[in-house]
A and B are shown apart, each in its own frame.
Chain A
């Protein structure tokens, strides 16, 4: 079992729809969770971080964390073609300096 799992996609959504990206993790002691966006040929860029159970909203982005079920999700409202990218989930475990990355979900927003 991979430590951080994401569906590789591609996930295709029409412009204006809600895109839902999911991530599960295996280390129950994980404490911090991050979503990065990576455009082709570019470096990962931080979108959201979440630390506590529940929802955290920032503009069109909402991160959701459920530690009991060991999943974290990212919702993108009013999706735009410019949101088309690969979204990486990263988990910072307890007792470690490491950030564990998933393999990413490729999102395509269709105009």
Chain B
């Protein structure tokens, strides 16, 4: 089975440019998560979707960041305009989660290989 697929693997761009990161979750998973990881701050949850609907975007650092999930098999994270402090590894993860309030499940998250973003 294909895992979570992210693109591009590496992105180097200049400050002020628009950056778009892409993610294809595992087929059948109903939840998708965007994370950012840096040495200083560790793994930070930016936003997560359930059934294509954004549930919590409180981790999105600024209005420069936006995320969409137009369908069950695709999501984007966009940064516009980009700044050097946005440099990090961005991970997408997906999971199959029961409805909130339903029976607990030990369904884990599965991570993509990440996008290493460098803003010059």
How far apart are the CA atoms of A97 and B110 in the complex, in Å? Answer: 14
Could you say which of B42, B55, B91 contacts A43, with CB atoms under 8 Å apart?
Answer: B91
Contact with A along B95-111 (1 / 0, CB 8 A): 10100110011111111
Could you say which of A46, A50, A92, A98 contacts B56, with CB atoms under 8 Å apart?
Answer: A98
Q: Which range holds the interface residue count of chain A?
A: 20 to 34
Q: Which residue of chain A has the shortest Cβ distance to B41 in the bound complex? A: A103
| Contact (Cβ within 8 A) B48 A46 | no
Given contacts A97-B48, A97-B50, contact A51 B104 (CB under 8 A): yes
In the assembled complex, the CB of A67 is this many whole angstroms from the nearest CB of chain B, namely 12
Does A27 interact with chain B (Cβ within 8 Å)? Answer: no
Could you say which of A43, A49, A97 contacts B106, with CB atoms under 8 Å apart?
Answer: A49
Beta-carbon contacts under 8 Å, B54-75 to A: 55-56
Could you say which of B43, B48, B110, B114 contacts A98, with CB atoms under 8 Å apart?
Answer: B48
- Chain A positions within 8 Å of B, measured between CB atoms, are 31-32, 34, 36, 42-46, 49-51, 88, 90, 92, 94-99, 101, 103-104
- Known: A92-B97, A98-B56, A101-B42; 12 extra A-B contacts, CB below 8 A, are A32-B105, A32-B107, A36-B111, A46-B109, A49-B108, A50-B106, A51-B106, A88-B43, A97-B50, A97-B55, A99-B45, A104-B42
